[in-house]
A = this chain, B = another copy of it.
Amino acid sequence: MFRFAVLGTGRIGDMHAKIIDSLGDAEVTWCYDIDIDRAKITAESVSAKFTNDISEVFKANDFDAVLIASLTNTHVELILKSAECGKPILCEKPIDVDINKVELCKKELLKYNVPIQIGFNRRFDPSHKYVKDSVQNGKIGDLELLVITSRDPGPPPPRQILEACGGLFRDTTIHDFDMARYILKDEPTEIFAMASNLVDPIFAELNDFDTAMIVMKTQSGSMCHINNSRRTNYGYDQRVEAFGKDGMVQSNNLRPKEISIYNDKATDQQDLLLWFFIERYKEAYQAEIVDFIENIKNNDKPSVTFEDGRRALILANTAYESLEAGKAIDVKY
C-alpha cells in the first residue's frame, strides 16, 4: 500500500483523497486541514486519521508521500516542510502566485533530493495526451498552429477564492500555458495578451479580467492561441487543436451521455458538456496519481516537474506584462 498524507481537504483535496482511496494499492493515512471539521469529513470517508496540526502529521511519519491541496499561499511552506522530511510531493497548481516565493522555493529545494510533481492534471487526460503524442511521434508533421479553447462554466467562483487566486492567468490560464508547453515542441519565447471584462463586474472590481485571448510564438516559429472565458452556459469547454504539415488532430469536449435528439427545432442535438473540472478531468486526476505513485516506486523522475510549474507561472506573469504594455513580450525563464 502506498500511503498519502493529504494536506488541505477543501474541494480538491477531498476529491484527491477519495481517488486515492478508490485505487487498489494506495490509501490515505492522514487528512490535514486548518479547518478541523473539513479534515474530519474527508478523513472519515477514506478511513484516515485527521488533524489541524501539521506537525502531528510529520511526527507520525506513517506515509510515503504528501498531496498538497491547501490554499495556494501555503504551498511553498508545505512543500519545503515535506522536502525536509524527505517525502515525495504531489502539489496542486500553481506552486504560488508570487514568482519570488517560487524562485526561493526552487533554491531551497536544491538542498533536498525529493521528487516533486505539480498538479497539471490535464496532461493526463487521454484525449489531450493523444494530441501531445501525435505531435511528438510526427503523426501531423511539424506542429505549426496550436489552438487551445478553455472556458469555465459560470457563474464566477466566490469572491474570496477570486481574491486569492492570483488572477485569471495565474489561476486558470496557467493550465493552458502548461498545455501549450506540454504539446509544443519548443518553448514559447514571445507572448501577447488581450483581455476584457464582459462576464461579471466582480472581476473588474478585483482588478482582474474574465475574458482573454493570447497568442504565443516559439523559437521555431510555431504559434499558439489560447482563449478563455470565466463563463459558459453549456458546460466546461476544453478543446485542443494541433495543426501541422501532415494534418490536424483535435481533442474534443466530453459529455455525460452520448445522445442525439432530432425534432422540428434542430437535429443531432447533443447533451450539455460535462459541467466542470471535477467531472471533466475525473479520469485525468486519477491517472495523475497513479502515474505519480509509479514514478516514485520506480525512482523515476516525476512527469510534471517543479520547473514546469515555475515556467507556466512565468508565462502567466509575462501575459500580464504584455497586457499592460500592449505589446508582445519576450519570455525570460
Contacts and interface: CB of A to CB of B under 8 A. Distances in A.
Interface string A207-223: 00001111101000111
A247 B224 CA distance: 24
A215 B228 CA distance: 13
A145 interface: yes
A234 B252 contact: no
Contacts of A139: 261
Interface stretch (A9-17, A85-93, A94-102, A124-132): A124-132
A239 to B, nearest CB: 10
Interface stretch (A50-58, A161-169, A268-276, A312-320): A268-276
A61 interface: no
Interface of A: 22, 24, 45, 126-127, 130-131, 134, 139-140, 142, 144-145, 147, 149, 151, 190, 192, 194, 196-199, 211-215, 217, 221-225, 227, 229, 231-235, 237, 243, 245-273, 325-328
Q: Which 4 A-B pairs have the closest CB atoms?
A: A327-B327, A247-B263, A196-B221, A266-B269
14 contacts: A127-B258, A147-B227, A192-B192, A196-B222, A223-B227, A229-B243, A231-B245, A233-B264, A247-B262, A247-B264, A252-B259, A255-B267, A267-B269, A268-B269
